[in-house]
């Protein structure tokens, strides 16, 4: 099948018989969008459509492109992503976007869920308590980044130790330990969020290493960034790929 037929089939699978938001006013743009995203990008690499939609959702949340986010929440449901998985993907954005932007995304998801007659709230995926959140978070953090985390805590100036504590207890304790999405998926989504933010190359590199430790290989990372490309543009995608190549150099083919 060529990309025209591929895009037609994939678009219908994701969105049903909807013609697309620009079909009447800007048909050339709608054609470019469909054929590039759904005829090419969606077929590059070997990750599931469910994971592609979760990646798309977090990038759209990062960009605060709310109308498109709503459309892809419907698409995610159509590919078999559960309501809990969608919520958890959006919750994964909190440490990186902050609460206000993430709340905007949550409102958009809730709007779609109400239209789809999905009961709210969804089942809680919380696994930690006030007593365990720091220790459990630190354990997850070390599993992703290794012994450097202990050194970061030990070497942090006294007036900055609270930031390291927040990272362990909040980012990795309250968020990463939640159910429904495993660490491997959460790390991949985090890489996509940071790549879409722009200006976070240091953190992108750290999470490239974290992804490898979590079980995602380089091809998976490149496929994930390719999936982000239509939604965040070439400059940020190329910056992310440069970070991936710096951490995981290409092997010389001789």
pLDDT at 254 over 60: no
Query: In this predicted structure, what is the pLDDT of residue 150?
Result: 87
The torsion angle over the Cα atoms of residues 230, 235, 236 and 237, rounded to 10 degrees, is 60
For residues 189 and 127, what is the distance between their CA atoms, to the nearest angstrom?
20
The torsion angle over the Cα atoms of residues 74, 75, 80 and 83, rounded to 10 degrees, is -30
Query: In this predicted structure, what is the pLDDT of residue 18?
Result: 83
Query: In this predicted structure, what is the pLDDT of residue 19?
Result: 83
Decide if 145 is inside a domain.
yes
207-221 pLDDT per residue, tens: 999 999 999 999 999
For residues 254 and 110, what is the distance between their CA atoms, to the nearest angstrom?
53
Decide if 66 is inside a domain.
no
| CB neighbour class for 66 (10 Å; exposed up to 12, middle 13-18, buried from 19) | middle
Decide if 234 is inside a domain.
no
pLDDT at 69 over 70: yes
CB 89 within 8 A of CB 192: no
- The SS3 assignment for 12 reads helix
Domain enclosing residue 146, as ranges: 129-176
Total of domains in the chain: 1
């Amino acid at each position: 099948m060529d990309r025209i037929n591929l895009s037609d089939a994939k678009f219908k699978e994701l969105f049903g018989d909807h013609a697309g938001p620009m079909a009447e006013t800007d048909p050339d743009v709608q054609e470019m969008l469909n054929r590039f995203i759904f005829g090419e990008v969606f077929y590059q690499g070997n990750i599931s459509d469910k994971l592609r939609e979760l990646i798309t959702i977090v990038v759209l949340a990062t960009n605060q492109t709310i109308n498109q986010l709503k459309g892809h929440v419907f698409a995610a449901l159509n590919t078999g992503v559960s309501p809990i998985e969608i919520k958890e993907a959006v919750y994964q954005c909190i440490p990186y976007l902050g609460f206000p932007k993430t709340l905007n995304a949550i409102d958009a998801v809730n709007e779609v869920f109400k239209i789809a007659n999905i009961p709210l709230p969804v089942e809680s995926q919380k696994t930690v308590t006030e007593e365990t959140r720091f220790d459990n978070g630190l354990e997850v953090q070390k599993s992703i980044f290794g012994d450097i985390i202990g050194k970061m805590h030990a070497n942090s100036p006294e007036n900055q130790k609270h930031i390291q504590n927040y990272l362990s207890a909040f980012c990795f304790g309250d968020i990463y330990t939640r159910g429904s999405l495993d660490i491997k998926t959460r790390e991949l989504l985090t890489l996509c969020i940071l790549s879409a933010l722009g200006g976070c190359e240091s953190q992108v590199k750290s999470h490239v290493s974290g992804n490898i430790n979590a079980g995602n290989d380089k091809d998976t990372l490149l496929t994930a960034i390719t999936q982000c490309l239509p939604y965040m543009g070439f400059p940020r995608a190329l910056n992310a790929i440069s970070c991936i190549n710096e951490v995981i150099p290409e092997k010389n083919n001789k």
